Amino acid sequence: MVQMWKSEIKVDLRPRLFHEIAQAFKAAVATTQGEEGDDPSKFVVADTAVFNALVTFCIKDLFVHLEKKLNLKPAKGTKLVNPSSSGLWKKLRLDIKMYLNAVLQLLSCLTEATVGAAVLQHINSIVHFYLCFPKHTRQLLKKAVNLWSTGEETLRVLAFLILNKICRHRQDTYLNPVLRKMYISYVKNSKFTSPNVLPMINFMQRTLTEMYSLDVQASYQHVFIYIRQLAIHLRSAMTLKKKGAYQSVYNWQYVHCLYLWCRVLSTIHPSEVLEPLIYPLVQVITGCIRLVPTLRYFPLRMHCIRALTLLSESVGVFIPILPFILEIFQQENFNKRPGRISVKPINFAVILKLSNVNLQEKVFREGLIEQIYDLTLEYAHTQAHTIGFPELVLPCIIQLKTFLKECKVSNYCKPMRQLLEKLQENASYITGRRQKCAFGVSDRDAVVKWEKQTKEEGTPLSKYFTTWKKLREQEIQLEISGKERMEDLNLPEIKRRKLEKKEEDKKEFKDLFESDSDSESGGGGLSLKAGKSKSKSGDNSSDEGSDLSSEGEEGEYEVEDDDGSDLDGESQDEDEEEEEGGEAEAHKKKIQRKNKGVQRLSQADLKELAKGEEDIVQDLEFSDDE
């Protein structure tokens, strides 16, 4: 029967034939829901092959021939074709309505992404038919918003195309409710952030920005209301000064909303309508940074700084961002020895705050130096062509020189010294160009023209930033995908020689070993180790307790550190090894005093051991304090 329909519609798609095909399609969709519906159709689809053939036929061919039959007039400009203008519309209207409703039901029950993508592409091609039925259009928008925020990647893109197409051609009717639903869905689905979820959140930000750019007047109402809502949350937190109020601001939903509005204002700029919203948004972001300016919330501060940098670069408004970066030098002591050692680096892109364990790790300071370098370079690049660049970076240059003078860790000084050199080089370049100027500071038009010309020609910092950005993006992609940087390094494997005691030595020094066995295995040694281990575990438990007391409430979202339990064990083992190493050294000296005839290592063995130590020192370059 399906094959017969295929051949018949090529000749002539009669209204009666379209009615039969629509009835059959409805019956096929009803089988996916396990029910026949209120009015049982005369068609029964019981075979999978028949179901696939019928659905494929309807999606690919049916509406191509239907549009030819309706003989629709081409639309003018960018407007969509109006099917209701056809003379056959009254005869086919109910059958088309039934078919469109069945397509929505089919979309709801599909689980396979490839089939869902095919159905969405079909819907996108027949959107102008849906626009003839307001109720079906609202149902379609609701399902499209849901797929846009929670679906698979391909389904998200196709759902957005449908939303954009409908709102572009029916702005007055559907744009406001769609923007409201999309924003609410965005907030709901940005509650948690991980390396896998972050690309989806970025996709929602970009597409939602595209929707807001359709009508700036309508968007102003939404942006104003939601920025005001963020400001009210911040004001409550600053007034109440309670943990629950702080957590209503310091969470992923709030941060992602701030970044969304920065992206919206940056993309739609220049716009006289949205320009008054720049200042209140900047005030909200800076207030968020100052709310709890502690070490633990440095990752959140970095997210806010990046949002401000994006806004400042795009809208051309000066925002004092450097002080928020330079404060980190004053709050953290980089000469302090790390309390814990962890090989896994901290991914600052997917965390908002640090635990007490993270603050003691060496990778925290390494990541902090890296973030300072990145943030300073990104912001300085946005201002590299401005005529006041030397004065802008002067406090930063002074702070970097002070840091290099005080810091004793070479691994921290190397990137900061490189950053200082790039800033000074660009400042000298701008100063040299300024000396050739013939206009004064008050001549605003001449200053703008000079800055534009400087930006087009390129500055030393902008050229360096272009090269650095490509390399940095590759590293960030590796971090987001969950790959550790250590995988690319071929670290030398250090093999320790195990010195086994020969039976002859035991027999020869039998009396000597027996005399010292009591002191080695006595209760005092065991109780000392147990006490040390107990006190160490007590310290760890107090740290964990403080973390739980400040982190375990609703509204605060943090990526947990998986290395905490392992690190505790490693640090304890290192202490026991050091203790045993000290006892072994004392024991060795005691043996040498009692018996001068102890056989020493040969010269060849000593040379081999010394050679191994030199190799280790060459492979692992430690700084002075390490």
Can you tell me the distance from the alpha carbon of 129 to that of 368, in angstroms, rounded to the nearest whole number?
56
* Contact call for residues 116 and 110 (beta carbons, < 8 A): yes
Dig out the tokens for 568 from the structure: 């505790």
Residue 6 pLDDT: 84
In this prediction, residue 239 carries a pLDDT of 92
Rg (Cα) of the chain, in Å, rounded?
A: 35
Q: What confidence score (pLDDT) does residue 85 get?
A: 83
Residue 253 CA to residue 188 CA, distance in Å, equals: 8
The 3-state DSSP class for residue 505 equals helix
**How far apart (Å, rounded) are the C-alpha atoms in residues 353 and 371?**
14
CA distances from 83 to 68, 72, 80, 148, 388 (A): 11, 7, 9, 27, 60
- Between CA 267 and CA 269 the distance in angstroms is 6
361 bridge partner residues: 340
Question: Position 392: which residue type?
Answer: L
The confidence score (pLDDT) of residue 537 equals: 39
Choose among 217, 216, 222: nearest CA to 260: 222
HSE-CB at 293 with a 13 A cutoff on CA atoms is 14
Positive or negative, the CA dihedral 370, 371, 374, 376 is negative
3-state class of 569 per DSSP? helix
- HSE, side-chain direction, 13 A CA sphere, residue 13: 22
Omega within 30 of 0 (cis) for the link into 270: yes
Q: Which residue has the tokens 């979202």?
A: 557
**Coil, strand or helix: which one is 340?**
strand
Instruction: Give the integer Cα–Cα distance in Å for 284 and 140.
Output: 36
Q: Three-state SS for 361?
A: strand
Query: pLDDT at position 52, please?
Result: 85
**Among 370, 367, 369, 371, which Cα is nearest to 342's?**
367
- Residue 257, judged by CB atoms within 10 A of its CB (0-12, 13-18, 19+), counts as buried
Q: How far is it, in rounded angstroms, from Cα 162 to Cα 155?
A: 11
The structure tokens listed for 82 are 């109006």
- Give CA–CA dist 214/210, Å, rounded: 7
Cβ contacts of 216 within 8 Å, gap of 6 or more:
268, 271, 273, 274
pLDDT at residue 414, rounded to an integer: 92
pTM recorded for the entire structure = 0.72
pLDDT at 591: 52
| pLDDT means over runs of 10, the chain (626 residues) | 85 85 87 60 78 87 84 72 83 90 88 87 91 92 93 92 92 92 94 88 94 92 94 93 88 94 92 92 95 90 94 90 90 80 80 87 88 93 91 93 90 92 93 87 88 90 88 71 46 48 50 42 36 40 37 36 37 43 54 47 50 41 40
Distance between CA atoms of residues 565 and 83, nearest Å: 66
- Phi first, then psi, for residue 379 (nearest 5°) are -70, -45
Residues facing residue 340 across a β-bridge? 361
H, E, C per residue of 24-44: HHHHHHHHHCCCCCCCCCCCC
| pLDDT for the residue numbered 309 | 94
Q: What is the pLDDT of residue 34?
A: 62
pLDDT (0 to 100) of residue 538:
40
Angle, alpha carbons 482-486-491 (nearest 5°): 160
Cα-Cα end-to-end distance for the chain: 81
d(CA 304, CA 309): 9
Find, among 341, 338, 328, 331, the residue nearest to 376 by Cα. 328
Cα(30)–Cα(54) distance, integer angstroms = 13
